[in-house]
Structure 1
Amino acid sequence: MSDGRIRMLAWGSAALAVCLVAGLLLGTTRGVSDGDELRASDSTRLSDLVRAAQVKVDELGVLRDDLAARVAALQNQAATTDDDVAGVLSTADALAEPAGLTARRGPGVTVTLTDAPRGPDGRYPTDAAPDDLVVHQQDVQSVLNALWAGGAEAIAMQDQRIVATSAPRCIGNTLLLHGRTYSPPYVITALGDRARLEAALAAEPGINVYKQYAARFGLGYTQQASDDLTVPAYTGSATVR
């Protein structure tokens, strides 16, 4: 047998062996994965992590509320027999309202910010960058700063009270506030003199820039005054670290 024929037989045998091994690997992979994608089972998506963290935060919130109720009950019980405890609780009660620990109701202004929607054709404006189409942290902060400057007596964002230690942060197109995540629209409610609040909003440079983007790219900005608004009490930790 010539050397050329031997080489051809050797290459043919090698190719057959490779195909058999590849087929065996594919069959084993399908059997192990049960028809699913193996990489998908090993890689957790960011949205799944956010949802899992949110569930954990909710569970811890329920535990916190239960422990806070127990502490309050014990404090009130001790106050009936200890004048020192009663005095401390009286001082704490006097500071509860300015600290945002009580719900408030009265006249004020509500501001709503929303991301830009798609056009009738299902597309965004061709000259818009992704950052032009979403509400940013500086937009939220401009509204909050204007409301405080306008003499707001109490402010809530979404369903939470804004206090001195609050730090709303935008992550992508979601908002992180007190450990909870929110999607647009972002609703900010402020109690106070309506005329002063509206004047402060009109004078805020950051809001005026946002309105220019709203007019060009379709971002949402609505502002509404009312004689009867409510903001909830702050229920988070009051410890400053």
Structure 2
Amino acid sequence: MRRLKRISLWRAGVPLALLCAGLLFATSATSARGTDLRPSRNTTLAGLVEEQSRRSAALVRQHATLTQEIEQLQEQQGSIDPKVAARLKSLSDAVGTTPVTGPGLTVTLKDAPKDVVRDNPDVDADWLVIHQQDIQAVVNALWAGGAEALTIQNHRVISTTGIKCVGNSVVLHGVPYLPPYKITAIGDKRKLQKALDDSKYIENLQDYVVRFQLGYDVTNESSILMPAYEGTLDLQSAAAPGFERTPTVSPTATGGR
């Protein structure tokens, strides 16, 4: 009788234990909402942006290294026509695929300090941060001032480079970055500075620098070592003013030339 009683209790306890375990798993999943509950992991937005930036930069460097190895193997095998190779080399500086050095300027842009944000709760938050148009204004002014080469966050800017705001970060070549933003240009320092001073948009930005302490600092550089552009050179789409834009496909995606 006792043996039968123990078996009955065991049979009744197993489903109950499984039910409790299921409830615990469901509660944990609901509380986590798909996130990591371990406090040791950095799940803040800034941490995620920095982690993604490091990962993307590592992949870009790996891509550049493999591309360079392929080009070296092609040259060794003589698969590139010498005239074509010479032409490619002459265009590399203009395209931005080779490192360059020279004097120039660095412009650093920063959001308003935290105490200014705290002390101005009624001010539009958009007035207290650097936006993509601020970075674009500096870049455009430097190009207008005769910049020979340019980087943002130490990444080479080329003709297809796009700058886009996503939340409180700026995306460059598909990689998110947080402020401060550093824009560096190689060229005649006096002409570059004059172009910055003559920019109407930067003049408007200076008002917010005074009112809300947005960061705007220009530094003279006697010698700048600027890296080569290491991303893809494929142009995905383009549109001319006055013409209707139509979807296009990259030639490399279809195997064309």
TM range (shorter): 0.7 to 0.9
Gap change, CA 1:153 and 1:62, over 3 Å in 2: closer
* Paired position in structure 2 for 1:32: 25
Matched, 1:235 2:230: yes
Q: State the distance in 1 between where 2:141 and 2:56 align.
A: 31
SS at match of 2:77: helix
Structure 1 counterpart of 2:196, which letter? L
C-alpha RMSD of matched pairs (Å): 2.9
**Equivalent residue in structure 2 for 1:176, among 171, 174, 180:** 171
SS at match of 1:170: strand
Matched, 1:140 2:135: yes
* Paired position in structure 2 for 1:159: 154
Q: CA deviation at 1:178?
A: 1.1
* Paired position in structure 1 for 2:12: none
Identity over aligned pairs, percent: 36
Show structure 1 runs of 5+ residues with no match: 1-25
Highest Rg: 1 or 2?
1
Gap change, CA 1:36 and 1:51, over 3 Å in 2: farther
Structure 2 counterpart of 1:32, which letter? F
- How many pairs align? 212
Structure 2 counterpart of 1:202, which letter? D
Deviations 1:92-148 (Å, cap 9, x if unpaired)?
Answer: 11111111111111111110000001228x824244211011101110111011000
Gap change, CA 1:143 and 1:92, over 3 Å in 2: same
TM-score by length of 2: 0.72
Structure 1 counterpart of 2:76, which letter? Q
* Paired position in structure 2 for 1:105: 101
SS at match of 1:237: coil
Gap change, CA 1:191 and 1:145, over 3 Å in 2: same
**Equivalent residue in structure 2 for 1:85, among 67, 78, 81:** 81
Greater Cα offset, 161-170 or 223-232: 223-232
Gap change, CA 1:115 and 1:55, over 3 Å in 2: closer
**Runs (4+) off by over 3 Å:** 26-30, 43-60
Structure 2 counterpart of 1:141, which letter? Q
